[in-house]
């Protein structure tokens, strides 16, 4: 399911907002990822 989310974000040229490190399996430059979790 995670790869389907990644594929959809890539196809839509969207930024995927997630804290899930599983998306790091997608090669750099293909999927735009933002992590909104603030660590203090």
**Is 9:27 a contact under the CB 8 Å cutoff?**
no
Cα separation, 6 vs 10, in Å, equals 6
pTM of this prediction?
0.77
Structural domain boundaries of the chain?
A: 2-34
Q: What is the pLDDT of residue 30?
A: 94
Q: What is the pLDDT of residue 3?
A: 87
Structure tokens given for 18: 């997630």
Q: What is the pLDDT of residue 8?
A: 96
**Is 33:16 a contact under the CB 8 Å cutoff?**
yes
- Length reported for the chain: 40
pLDDT tens for 1-40 read 888 999 999 999 999 999 998 988 888 889 999 999 977 6
Cα separation, 33 vs 17, in Å, equals 6
Strand partners of residue 17: 34
């Amino acid at each position: 399911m995670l790869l389907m989310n990644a594929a959809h974000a890539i196809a839509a040229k969207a930024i995927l907002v997630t804290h899930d490190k599983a998306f790091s399996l997608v090669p750099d430059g293909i999927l735009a990822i933002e992590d909104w979790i603030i660590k203090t």
